[in-house]
Structure 1
């Protein structure tokens, strides 16, 4: 049996036609939704969620295509035409989830892939999102702009999963534990922050979700770029208070992460942190503190 967040109730909540999300819910008070990254599930928030649940209603879903949530089949056409795993679609899932649980307005925090969904939710649903936090990611359009030259090798998986349907899925399915485990090891500043039973749960979940995980990444090389580019051309920006916690990628890849984020967010607190990518597990007290400071803005 997969681990759970102690003290949280688990629910399956319909959010779209034929799609329900698995969500862990606890606490009372103003609502906060926490979105996980790759290659993880909602369990990555277990420490931060328990902290925030002392005085907030905390909702931790598995994203569409991940964990115990539904995994609709994506199309086999061009990535620019398939919206099954567009961040716009996944953001609409999150807003529908919160509303189904009784919350028309809520704070939203995301890590990695979940941060891209949170970013899109902030742009598409500004009336619903009171506060926004994005952990260790760049907006999709900016990410592709800075990934160039030999330094882009660190993001090889982005290019692999951007390929047309078929080859990426077969390659990853041939050795899924090696593929997903590579990132759990490479990106961790403290491997001990992900205990064996949680790591096993992550690998089990990813092994069962190869097509949908690839489809999520493929969308970020297609339809998600189109949506970001259209918003940039229209001058759309995030209107709520925004906090970004980020490793110092800019030093290695040659860009100013804070400046890139500032172009999207008028009310921005950007912090460069010294812990690893899996910061909600490696430094949960610091992450919870940053989220509480965001909620006080």
Structure 2
């Protein structure tokens, strides 16, 4: 399945990894990064709307969808460098960046590592990696069991998930959607088929978030590196549910922050596409200080 009206191209990221990229529209560029367990198809409602007056670029992250799946290289730093390389290859030295879930973690890292490239940043339904691990404790951490499973050394997580991939990935598609109709059967089938072919790389992506990504975040925090661009964060009210102040945690990283909670489920771009489209347009009007 494809985003209607978009052209699909193969573009090299870092380490010669080829990424599958949907491109549409014209105007100032906006890059949209998908989450787990999805592909670029999750932007099928938002991307065409933004393409009315923007060049919209929707890659499959390395390891996902139709993009290359190397055995290693899943730090968010490397994945962020992929995004910058893709945009540059398509002729864009700067761009606004929107990420959901795993894509939001890549977007966050791109904003820290490439502040002169990322003009505006939106992150949907995540905390920064370091904060995510910090707030997970006690029985409330059970909600993130998959994070701990895929953080284990190579071997067991891959075998366990590969034994029942549709049940594993489908569990999250079902559990995290407040509106199941937002992910119709054909889209759900496309996501599951893509994940079925990507178990080792998806696990590698998550494993990096328990290892090298934490190291990179700690280094940035200690060095005072912060997001310099206007930042919007939209997420479910996990703070209230798990006992932390999500906005305060984001404010540490993003001085120019707009933070809001939503009643939609985790799959915001599919459950509340009009809200997300409006919020992206509003973000792009904010001047960089």
TM-score, normalized by length of structure 1? 0.96
RMSD of aligned alpha carbons: 0.4
Structure 2 gaps, min length 5? none
The aligned residue for residue 80 of structure 1 is: none
Does 2:64 correspond to 1:66? yes
SS of 2:62's partner is coil
Number of residues of Structure 1 aligned to a counterpart in Structure 2: 286
The aligned residue for residue 202 of structure 2 is: 213
The Cα shift of 1:287 comes to 0.4
Structure 1 gaps, min length 5? 75-83
Structure 2 residue corresponding to 1:134, chosen from 109, 123, 139? 123
SS of 2:18's partner is strand
The Cα shift of 1:18 comes to 2.8
Deviations 1:1-59 (A, max 9, x none): xx100100000001123301000000000000000000000000110001100000000
Structure 1 residue corresponding to 2:20, chosen from 19, 22, 29? 22
Determine the C-alpha separation between the residues in 2 that align with 1:119 and 1:96. Answer: 16
Determine the C-alpha separation between the residues in 2 that align with 1:273 and 1:17. Answer: 38
* Matched ranges for 1:52-63 at <5 A: 52-63=50-61
The aligned residue for residue 271 of structure 1 is: 260
SS of 2:45's partner is helix
The Cα shift of 1:252 comes to 1.3
SS of 2:172's partner is helix
The aligned residue for residue 90 of structure 2 is: 101
Runs in 1 of length 4+ with deviation above 6 angstroms? none
The Cα shift of 1:130 comes to 0.3
TM-score, normalized by length of structure 2? 0.98
Q: Does the aligned pair in 1 maintain the 2:14–2:78 contact within 8 Å? A: no
Determine the C-alpha separation between the residues in 1 that align with 2:186 and 2:51. Answer: 23
The aligned residue for residue 193 of structure 1 is: 182
Does 2:232 correspond to 1:247? no
Determine the C-alpha separation between the residues in 1 that align with 2:236 and 2:255. Answer: 21
* Matched ranges for 1:83-162 at <5 A: 84-162=73-151
SS of 1:22's partner is strand
